[in-house]
Structure 1
Amino acid sequence: MAFLAGGTLTALAATYFATGIVTGLSGLVGTVLGGVISVGAVTYHDNRRQKKEIEAMRASLYAEIVDRVARCANDYIVPWRNFARKIEREDAKFLPSLPLVLPAVAGKLGLLDAEILLAVTQFYFRLSVLRDAIELVSKDPDTSEAIRLTRVKMIQERLLSCFDPALRSMNLLNVPDCQKFDQEAVRVYPHLKKEPGDLRQILQRFADLAAEKNIV
């Protein structure tokens, strides 16, 4: 279309001007204009495509972060908040699910604003550390009572450390209709329904508790 526009301009100019020199100049002008239009069109479409890619990536990251942090909150409420029994090998079921979206978009994370990128990576880092802790204690559950209490406290703290970076990520990603994602997470994870407030209010209370305990 861009080159067609340039050709059209050339033809019009050639019709208007009678001399060969003017015709040549008009052809040059048409070619230049066609090139400018072409470059502008390509740039516009590239920018538009990149913008859509970023929006899709933000929505995908938001959905995964909400799911993972809702699971963390659900597991913190039951059983880890008031954990009173012996740790068992079956407690490996509380391992956070491995991220799927993050590795899939890893090559494009640089398109995010620095503040968003930092919050997102901090959440996934804490999620990984939590996974390591649960995997460790569930593999070797036969310990003394003192060690059990220490390990339970470690998992509680690592759970609590996830909530603030998750909230910051959710706020900074600023996904349209984000309430729908939040509501779906509450619907899926049953223990969240026992807590007052919506998902963000629940996460904020747990994040505040982590701050009170100086958990970072």
Structure 2
Amino acid sequence: MSNNDLPGLTPAWLISLGLALGCTIVVMIPASIATGDQIKSSDWIGFSGNVVAGAMTLIAAILAWFAVKRQVDAQDQAQRAARQQQTTDLARILYAELAHLVARCCFDFEAPWREYWQGPSLDKMQTVKLRKCVPVDPVIYRAVAGQLALLGPAAQHLMEFHYRLSALRREIDNLASNADLNNEQIENENLQLVARRFRETLRPGSKALEALAELVKDTGEIEALARELYYESRPHEDIGKTLKARVEAILRTT
């Protein structure tokens, strides 16, 4: 079966055919509208004027299309730039909050919860002391939950950390509420469970920080500020040690 549906009609022939048809139409239309009278110069002038007017209209339409296209492209570019800026601002404020939350979990696990994790050697705990270890409420994360899709893959890591953080908060609240109801202290085995919840937040927290760091420029300064608040109670420690290094040390030794 031949691959050419119109044999002999090469591009050159098609162009020639188009030119011939165009010339024929231009010549014959005035003749076809004539009523037997001799074609006058005014007939050609009128016909030529219509052709020129049509051509000018077509050119104007093409120019208008290009102008509209440029405007649409400019608007699209402006929207992309605004979206990128929105993503950057969102990632930065979430990173700042996340750094404080991860730092709190990290430093609290180092003391006192590491000892509870390692074994039932410590005494019971009053509910007042337990409630002091509740992580702060992630206000920013909840406020911008509807915009997390802007973060791309980083959103999943962030959600995983907050899932673990929620489990920790719920565990502390349940244990403290039950102990208050029965006027009891928190048993050591329950405190081990709280220590486990603290530890389970660390790896997801570190991964979330790493994922958001790709969208934020000054992550080092933000994290340093978060760490500084906790180093005030530990003046003899290395203040330059990053959260990632602290988390990896905890997970490696517990």
- Shared fold (TM-score, shorter chain, > 0.5): yes
Letter in 2 for 1:70: A
The sequence identity of aligned pairs, in percent, is 23
Question: Aligned equivalents of 1:89 and 1:69: distance in 2?
Answer: 23
Contact 2:100 2:227 in 1 (8 A): no
The one of 165, 177, 185 aligned to 1:127: 165
Deviation, 1:112, is 2.2
In 2, are the aligned partners of 1:163 and 1:203 still within 8 Å (CA)?
yes
Pick from 202, 207, 216 the counterpart of residue 246 of structure 2.
202
CA distances 1:50-75 after superposition (whole Å, capped 9, x unpaired): 11111111111111111111111222
TM-score (normalised: structure 1): 0.79
3-state SS of 1:161 partner: helix
**SS of residue paired to 2:132:** helix
Runs of 4+ that moved beyond 4 A: 141-144, 191-196
3-state DSSP class of the match of 1:94?
A: coil
Q: Is the 8 A contact 1:183 1:199 kept in 2?
A: no
Number of the residue aligned with 1:14: none
In the superposition, the TM-score normalised over structure 2's length comes to 0.68
Q: Which whole-Å CA distance do the structure 1 matches of 2:138 and 2:217 have between them? A: 22
1:179 offset after TM fit, Å?
A: 0.8
Distance (Å, rounded) in 2 between the aligned partners of 1:162 and 1:206: 12
Q: CA deviation at 1:168?
A: 0.6
2:200 to 158, 161, 172: 161
Distance 1:208 1:24 in 2: 76
Tell me the matched-pair count. Answer: 189
Corresponding residue of 2:97:
64
Displacement, 1:101? 1.4
Equivalent position amino acid for 1:204 in 2? E
- Asked if 2 retains the 8 angstrom alpha-carbon contact of 1:134 and 1:155, the reply is yes
Contact 2:94–2:140 (Cα < 8 Å) also in 1:
yes
Which secondary structure does the structure 1 equivalent of 2:187 belong to? Answer: helix
Q: 1:53 aligns with which of 86, 90, 109?
A: 86
1:160 counterpart SS class: helix
Residues of 1 paired with 2:233 and 2:207: CA distance?
Answer: 23
Contact 2:101–2:136 (Cα < 8 Å) also in 1: yes
Structure 1 residue 31, shift from structure 2 partner: 1.1
Equivalent in the alignment of 1:183: 224
Counterpart in the other structure of 1:138: 176
1:149 to 2:182 alignment:
no
Stretch moving more, 80-89 or 149-158: 80-89
Deviation at 1:126, TM superposition (A): 0.6
Q: Which runs of 5+ in 1 are unaligned?
A: 1-18
Q: Please give the root-mean-square deviation of Cα atoms over the aligned residues, in Å.
A: 2.1
Question: In 1, distance between residues paired with 2:169 and 2:234?
Answer: 21
Contact 2:206/2:243, CA 8 A, preserved across alignment: no
Q: Hey, what's the Cα distance between the residues in 2 that align with 1:101 and 1:93?
A: 21
Higher-Rg member (1/2): 2
Distance 1:201 1:195, change over 3 A: farther
Find the counterpart in structure 1 of residue 150 from structure 2: 111
Matched letter for residue 153 of structure 1: Q
Describe the shift of the 1:207–1:113 C-alpha distance in structure 2 as closer, same or farther (beyond 3 A): farther
| Comparing 82-91 and 164-173, the one that deviates more | 82-91
1:143 CA drift (Å):
4.7
Distance in 2 between the 1:207 and 1:182 partners? Answer: 20
8 Å CA contact 2:94, 2:141 repeated in 1: yes
SS in structure 1 opposite 2:67? helix
2:106 paired residue among 69, 73, 87? 73
